[in-house]
Structure 1
Amino acid sequence: MNEQELQRLVEHISITIFRKPFRHRASFNRRLKTTGGRYHLGSHDLDFNPLVLELHGMEELEKVVKHELCHYHLHLEGRGYQHRDADFLNLLKASGGSRFVKDLRQAGIVAPPKWLYSCSACGQMYPRKRRIDLKKYVCGKCKGKLKITG
C-alpha cells in the first residue's frame, strides 16, 4: 500500500464510520516503533506505522486508523480526545477501533546485552543492556560486590 492508497483509506473510513470528512494528510512513518499511529495536534495530520500492515494485515490497520480518527474528530470538535477521556472511549467503542495495537516487535530480533557483570563472591552473571552503578548495586543472590566482566 502506498501513501495515496492510505490517504484514500483514511478518507473512506472517516466518511463511512464517522460521517465526517478527513481534510488533512495521512502518511506512513517508519520511525514509529511501538505505536500503530500518531495524531499531530498542531497540523492535524496522521502518521501510521507500516509494520502494522506488514505484520498484522489490513484489518488491524483499519482498527488503528479508526483509533487515530477518534483523536482527530474529537480534537477538532473541542471534546475529550485523550485516551483517558470518556468521549474518546465511547467513540472508540462505537467505531470499532482498537485501544492498543498488536505487538510490533518482530520475533527473534533481540539486541544482545552490551554489558556483562559478575559477582566477585558467588560468580553469578548479570547480562545488561544498560550500564549500572557498581557502588549502588550488589549481587541479588549473595549481596556480594559486582564487577564488569565484559
Structure 2
Amino acid sequence: MDNKKLQKLVEDISIQFFQKPFRHLALFNPRLRSTGGRYLLGTHNIEINRKYFEQLGETELYGIIKHELCHYHLHLEGKGYQHRDPEFKQLLKQVGAPRFCTPLPAVKRTVQSKKILIYACKECAQIYKRKRAINTAKYVCGKCRGQLVKVKELTSS
C-alpha cells in the first residue's frame, strides 16, 4: 500500500464511520517506532506506522485509522480530543476504534556481550568500573588526583 491508497482509505473510513470528510493528508511515516499512528495538531495530518500494516494486517490498520480520525474530528470541532477526555472515549466506542493499538511482535535481537572496563588509581587504589573507555592522559582519580591505569576488561554475555 502506498500513500495514495492510504489517503483514499482514510477518506473512505471518515465518510463511512464519521459521516464527515477528511480534508488533510494521510501518509506513512517510516520514523514512527512505538506507536501505530499519530494526529498532528498543527497541520491536521495523520501519520501511520507502515510496520503495523505489514505485520498485523488490514484490520489493525483500520483500527489505527479510526482512532486517529477520532482525534482529528474532535479537535476540529473544538471538543475533547485527548485520550483522557470522555468525548474521545465515547466516540471510540461509537465507531469501534481501539483505545490502544496492538503491540508489534518482538523482534529477536542478537545478544551483545557487555564489556566493563576496570580502572584503578596508582596512588590510593580506588577502583572505577566503566562501560566506556577513559582517556587516562586526561582524567585523574576523583579521590586523590592520582594517575589512572586500566586494570582489566571484563566481558559477559
Q: Which runs of 5+ in 1 are unaligned?
A: 118-130, 132-146
Per-residue deviation, 1:111: 5.6
- The share of aligned pairs that are identical, in percent, is 50
Aligned pair count reads: 123
Rounded Cα–Cα distance in structure 2 between residues aligned with 1:49 and 1:18: 22
Structure 2 Cα separation of the partners of residues 31 and 106 of structure 1: 18
Paired amino acid for 2:114: W
Question: Which has a greater percent of strand?
Answer: 2
- Distance in 1 separating the partners of 2:56 and 2:82: 25
Establish whether residue 149 from structure 1 lines up as the match of residue 149 from structure 2: no
Is the 1:37–1:48 contact (alpha carbons within 8 Å) kept by the matching residues of 2? yes
* Cross-structure match for 1:50: 50
- Contact 1:115–1:148 (CA under 8 A) maintained in structure 2: no
Q: Distance in 1 between the 2:74 and 2:96 partners?
A: 16
* Secondary structure class of the residue paired with 1:103: coil
Normalised by the size of structure 2, how large is the TM-score?
0.72
- 1:79 corresponds in structure 2 to 79
The residue matched to 1:24 in structure 2 has which SS? coil
Q: What RMSD in Å do the two structures reach over aligned CA positions?
A: 2.1
Residue 149 of structure 1 deviates from its aligned partner by 2.2
Provide TM-score, normalisation by structure 1. 0.75
Over residues 2-51 of structure 1, what are the superposed CA-to-partner deviations in whole Å (9 max), with x where a residue is unaligned?
11100000000000100100000000011111100010000000000001
Is the 8 Å Cα contact of residues 29 and 49 (structure 1) preserved in structure 2?
A: yes
Maintained 8 Å contact 1:75/1:81: yes
Q: Residues of 1 paired with 2:45 and 2:19: CA distance?
A: 18
Q: Give the structure with higher Rg (CA).
A: 2
**Preserved contact between residue 80 and residue 87 of structure 1 (Cα < 8 Å):** yes
Report the counterpart of residue 7 of structure 1 in structure 2: 7
How far did residue 60 of structure 1 move? 0.6
Structure-1 separation of matches of 2:104 and 2:63? 15
Does structure 2 retain, via aligned residues, the 8 Å contact 1:33–1:104? no
- Which residue identity lines up with residue 81 of structure 2 in the other structure? Y
Kindly tell me: are residues 66 and 112 of structure 1, through their superposed partners in 2, closer, same or farther at Cα, counting changes over 3 Å? same
1:1-150 correspondence to structure 2 within 5 Å? 1-108=1-108, 110=109, 112-113=111-112, 115-116=114-115, 149-150=154-155
